[in-house]
A and B are shown apart, each in its own frame.
Chain A
């Protein structure tokens, strides 16, 4: 296999890792005002993702860095072309990341309410905008002969792009609700499961419409099966959820997101960013790539270290495998006496 193809696949893997993992912590963040009835429940929700959200977020940093290295032309066109949406994503991720750490650092109610807002919008904005961005990458954008994006931010806000944003938002909401159902106990677990079913139904409708539209404009024989199995996995996941099988339900949305993203990349290949101006200006896995030597060096590094990373990340999920319920949250009095006094 060509190294450029290997790296196209690896970039797809990194984005699949990002969307399947950070997808649920975005979902948990967006659901904060919906699912939690009081501060203790909000803390239960935040603590389900507390140990892992940061590791999940690194997937996007590595995806960005790997694109920079393996496909510099793609990185340059994409990041300078999608300037303002990326700025919005950056601001959202900054506020959200700080919110997890700073929210409980002061007892005042308005301090915590402000950081809660940072978690909610900091999750919503990237969840939506990544969908918009990916829809536009797959559909193609105006690119000129020197590989420069010639559109504006409004170019990106077309119906297909907006639908893409709605789909990622709804899928992540469902994914997040199922994660809460899987990781909590008591009242909130049941509410999360019920909500996941309703969100999942809406996500299924939007996702099927979007994937069918994608298949119609740019799909091929490889993307179609991925999209079909993605849709089936979502339905199977919701059936499992309705029967109280939370592990299988979460696996269902996990597979759905993984295969939907895989399908988008399959529909894209061999392009990495098609030009709607002239097909001759399209960025492809070949003309956007770094040199063979760089790809070779990076392939070795990736082959050695990716399994190690997946190994210790999986272990960290194992360490925090227990469900969290309201009685696990230390009370303020306990915290005042010294964390963990018991």
Chain B
């Protein structure tokens, strides 16, 4: 293994792992803020119990998302220093702005939310969770702007003297056409995921035999709110995903051709592949099940639009970017991503995401009017929803990033040229093994805690102190409402 390969494995593992927790954090912070706001507005204790219950699960999940996020920022410099030199001007500035605008907001107000139950007026306390949520949205906007620039570099010029991409137009990067569709797609997917998490847990607790009967209406409230969130977000994800597919067909035709297993250009009426097997060298189709003309529609918006295939695109890219080893900032390489990975991750993304939405509809129908179906599979369906949503996100990222290969910055820099020249195989391998091993252990711990706290269910209602009512003398000597 060389450093490039090790660094790629590390980036893939560390990033996909981090992103298991991110969508839950983004979606769940909004749902908890909604629950808490509804408690303040209605005074219904059910909403407070849901706030606290999902708040606890949220914190278990947030903690691991937070600490694995630190590695994300550091590994650009550690493993990909030539990338960092090349893009610091553009990518680095978006990362820095993300930190300043989002990370401080999230961490400070989450601290206030966790420990502030007996110190802040109720509306301010709920406002803290809203601010945490706004922080997560800001964070996604800036990091996705940085990523969208890697997918479709705009607003910069290449300076051959310094050998780097230099920012020329900040707003062009902010409103990159890839970003404008990627952000709503990722955010709706996050709401879908947060909703699926609340739905899965609430429905499972509602269906479970051990649950106290007086608690079932509360879980049912959780089911109803979250199922609608999943359905609306699912629709939003589908619409934005379709728009994104069209933009991608335009800016990265190879990625979409690989996603479709479309080997030859179709002048009109390209078929959508439901199942395609190609030859191992990725040059020819062997067997395919297709829906006629659907791909043309998905990619271009008309049923007879032209969709380019892998083989002609390969020729075109070689002509455009060359195969000359002496060329300034690219590498002689094959311009085709790994087709099976691209093809299947695309399908798993869509299938699992839409599956989660369908599951939500089914649960909403099955549990209508407080029904409690006895068949075991309802419980399994509930529990499978969070996993379906989370893995749909993972496959989405695998598709997006793998489909761009061999580029790290599309058309500008290949992955081979991005790696740190000074890092040894030993160092890179140490890092890969240490982090992967650590993450594996943490996954077991985190999952164990989530299971423990889900099984325990929501705590009984306790009226929290309202600092705007109580005199401060009593409060001074009372035990903390929340303490580590």
To the question of whether A and B form a pair in one complex, the answer is: yes
Interface of A toward B, CB cutoff 8 Å: 43, 46-47, 50-52, 54-55, 57-58, 61-62, 64-66, 68-73, 75-81, 83-84, 86-87, 90-91, 93-95, 97-98, 100-106, 146-150, 290-291, 293-294, 297-298, 301-302, 305-306, 309, 312-313, 316, 319-320, 322, 324, 327-331, 334, 338-342
A201 to B402, CA, bound (A): 56
- Whether B93 pairs with A79 at a CB distance below 8 angstroms is no
B71-85 contacts to A (CB < 8 Å) = 71, 73-74, 76-79, 81-82, 84-85
Contact with A along B324-366 (1 / 0, CB 8 A): 0000000000000000000000000000000000000000000
Task: A64 to B72: give the CA distance in the assembly, Å.
Answer: 11
| B449 within 8 A of partner (CB) | yes
CB atoms of B63 and A98 under 8 A apart? yes
Q: Report the Cα distance A95→B92, complex, angstroms.
A: 26
* Main SS class of interface, B: helix
Q: Determine how close the nearest CB of chain A comes to the CB of B459; give it in whole angstroms.
A: 5
Count of A-B residue pairs with CB < 8 Å: 263
- Least CB distance, A258 to chain B, in whole angstroms: 19
The answer to whether B120 touches A328 (Cβ under 8 A) is no
Q: Tell me whether A330 and B483 are in contact in the complex, defined as CB-CB below 8 angstroms, given that A65-B95, A306-B100, A313-B104 are known contacts.
A: yes
Q: Which of B215-223, B244-252, B472-480 contacts A (4 or more CB under 8 A)?
A: B472-480
Contact B108 A55 (CB under 8 A): yes
**A36-B467 Cα distance, complex, nearest whole Å:** 30
Closest to A105 in B: B449
- Out of A72, A77, A106, A340, which one reaches B482, CB within 8 Å? A340
Instruction: Provide the B176-206 mask, 1 if CB < 8 A to any CB of A, else 0.
Output: 0000000000000000000000000000000
Could you say which of B77, B107, B449 contacts A55, with CB atoms under 8 Å apart?
Answer: B107
**Smallest CB–CB gap between A40 and chain B, Å?**
10
A340 / chain B contacts, CB cutoff of 8 Å = 117-118, 462, 464-465, 479-482
Across the interface, do A87 and B431 meet the contact criterion of CB distance under 8 Å?
Answer: yes
Known: A293-B166, A340-B481, A342-B478. A69 touches B434 (CB 8 A): no
Residues of B within 8 A of A147 (CB): 85
Interface members, chain B 448-470 (any A CB < 8 Å):
449, 452-453, 459-460, 462, 464-465
Is chain A's interface secondary structure helix, strand, loop, or mixed overall? helix
- Assess the A290–B459 pair: CB atoms within 8 A: no
Nearest Cβ distance between residue A183 and chain B, in whole angstroms? 13
Pair B480/A330 contact, Cβ less than 8 Å: yes
B167 proximal to A (CB < 8 A): yes
Taken together as a complex, chains A and B put the C-alpha atoms of A319 and B90 apart, in Å, by 38
A106 with B427: in contact, given A149-B422, A293-B166 (CB under 8 Å)? no
Contact of A43 among B64, B119, B120, B483 (CB under 8 A): B483
The answer to whether B77 and A320 touch across the interface, beta carbons within 8 angstroms, is no
The answer to whether A339 and B482 have CB atoms under 8 Å apart is yes
Is B67 close to A, CB under 8 A?
Answer: yes
Set of chain B residues within 8 Å of A70, measured between Cβ atoms: 92, 96
- From B70, B78, B100, A305 is in contact (CB under 8 Å) with B100
CA distance A81 to B84 in the complex (A): 13
Chain B residue at smallest Cβ distance from A144: B422
Q: Which of A94, A312, A316 is in CB contact (< 8 Å) with B67?
A: A94
Is A87 touching B170 in the complex (CB atoms < 8 A)?
no
